[in-house]
């Protein structure tokens, strides 16, 4: 019997004091989700527990089941809302989370990682992974090795825990565009599919789905917009299905308006991503759907090189405030 999953992900930019219009935007996000048709919601950067509790209260009718992944000093910022019962939860904190002396970046204090909620829908098991990898912050990207190790750790977790599930979904801000080393690690090891590549018209659709620093977002950096008006596609929903099923992408893109209704600002400094998947029994001989990229050994070698170079920089004391 076929069924449909409608997944939503958004980096909410919910940093207390720092994030502009945080209260108004969180309220607007709740209002949107109350009216939308999503059945699974993954949020990142919900750094204030009060914001999570507000969302939980406002969305109780639409999403009676939810979980916030507590970690570090003030929480991971990750939470999942779902229409269906959560059977199990697990949080894997990454061993490398930025530098403790980079207080203004805050990643180390958040104890970031990847959260898993295993959902039971009728007799089907659905694994939902929510994550947020380390940001670049600067062009020299001293956190590349951190992000690469986080990506590998995430890919390894998905690969080792997805086998009991009929469907596995990884959603969140990966701070990596398709083709980037971190993105390749995450998709290749657990064979996750990028729904964008399954769209027949994805070449025409490309300039419409940059999720960060695009021309339509009120919080985008003008300098970055000038260089690349369509922005970067760094927020993703990836998936794979068990061999006895096949998946069809019904829709994929940003479901929210460019501005909060009645306000001059956007819902967040990132755009949301929504994916509607139709899952149905496979009509052919059971065959697992694999990612198009199959050069995992080359990817691993590239990752090792990045980590070795970072070790040299650390030893030479070139990484400072």
**Domains of the chain (ranges plus CATH)?**
3-316 (3.60.10.10)
Q: Of 156, 155, 89, 93, which is closest to residue 118 (Cα–Cα)? A: 89
Bridge partner residues of 86 (DSSP)? 119
27 vs 31: CA distance, rounded Å: 6
Predicted TM-score (pTM) of the model is: 0.91
pLDDT digits over 216-231, tens only?
A: 999 999 999 999 999 9
Assign 213 a pLDDT band (cuts: 50, 70, 90): very high
> Is 70 exceeded by the pLDDT of residue 293?
no
Kindly indicate the confidence band of residue 114, based on its pLDDT and cuts at 50, 70 and 90.
Answer: very high
The pLDDT value recorded for residue 284 is: 76
Can you give the pLDDT at residue 204? 54
What pLDDT is recorded for position 140? Answer: 54
Residue 73 has pLDDT above 80, yes or no: no
| Averaged pLDDT, 127-154 | 84
Q: Is 270 a catalytic residue?
A: yes
φ, ψ of residue 181 to 5 degrees: the values are -55, -45
The predicted model gives 281-305 an average pLDDT of 75
User: CA torsion angle for 151, 209, 3, 81 (degrees, to 10)?
Assistant: 60
Residue with tokens 């065959």: 287
Report for 129-138, 142-151, 291-300: range of highest mean pLDDT: 142-151
Catalytic residue among 67, 134, 236, 270: 270
Which pLDDT tens digit goes with each residue over 238-247?
Answer: 999 999 999 9
- Beta-strand ranges (E) seen in the chain are 3-14, 40-46, 65-68, 79-82, 86-93, 113-121, 124-132, 167-173, 235-241, 245-253, 273-281
Q: Has residue 145 got a pLDDT over 60?
A: yes
Q: Which two tokens stand for residue 320?
A: 């400072």
Binning pLDDT at 50, 70 and 90, where does residue 110 land? low
pLDDT value at 203 more than 80: no
122: alpha, beta or left, given left = phi > 0 and alpha = psi -120 to 50?
left
Residue 229: both structure tokens together: 């008006």
User: Which pLDDT score, from 0 to 100, does residue 229 have?
Assistant: 93
């Amino acid at each position: 019997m076929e069924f449909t999953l409608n997944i939503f992900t958004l980096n909410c930019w919910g940093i207390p004091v720092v994030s502009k219009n945080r209260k108004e935007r969180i309220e607007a996000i709740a209002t949107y989700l109350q009216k939308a048709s999503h059945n699974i919601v993954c949020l990142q950067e919900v750094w204030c527990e009060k914001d999570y509790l507000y969302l939980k209260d406002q969305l109780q009718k639409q999403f009676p089941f939810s979980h916030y992944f507590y970690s570090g000093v003030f929480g991971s910022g990750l939470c999942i809302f779902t229409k269906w019962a959560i059977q199990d939860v697990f949080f894997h904190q990454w061993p490398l989370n930025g530098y403790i002396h980079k207080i203004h970046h805050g990643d180390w204090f958040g104890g970031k990682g990847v959260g898993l909620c295993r959902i039971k829908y009728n007799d089907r098991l659905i694994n939902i992974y929510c994550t947020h990898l380390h940001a670049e912050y600067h062009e020299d990207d001293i956190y590349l090795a951190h992000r690469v190790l986080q990506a590998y750790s995430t890919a390894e977790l998905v690969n080792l825990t997805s086998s009991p599930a009929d469907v596995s979904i990884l959603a969140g801000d990966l701070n990596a565009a398709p083709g980037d080393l971190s993105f390749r690690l995450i998709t290749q090891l657990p064979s996750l599919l990028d729904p964008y590549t399954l769209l027949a018209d994805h070449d025409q659709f490309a300039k419409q789905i940059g999720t960060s620093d695009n021309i339509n977002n009120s919080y985008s950096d003008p300098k970055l917009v000038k260089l690349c008006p369509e922005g970067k596609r760094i927020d993703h929903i990836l998936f794979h299905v068990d061999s006895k099923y096949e998946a069809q992408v019904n829709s994929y893109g940003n479901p929210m308006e460019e501005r909060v209704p009645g306000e001059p600002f956007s819902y967040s400094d990132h755009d949301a991503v929504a994916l509607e998947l139709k899952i149905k029994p496979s009509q052919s001989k059971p065959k697992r759907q694999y990612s198009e990229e199959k050069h995992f050994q080359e990817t691993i070698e590239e990752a090792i090189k990045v980590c070795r170079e970072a070790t040299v920089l650390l030893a030479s004391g070139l990484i400072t405030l």
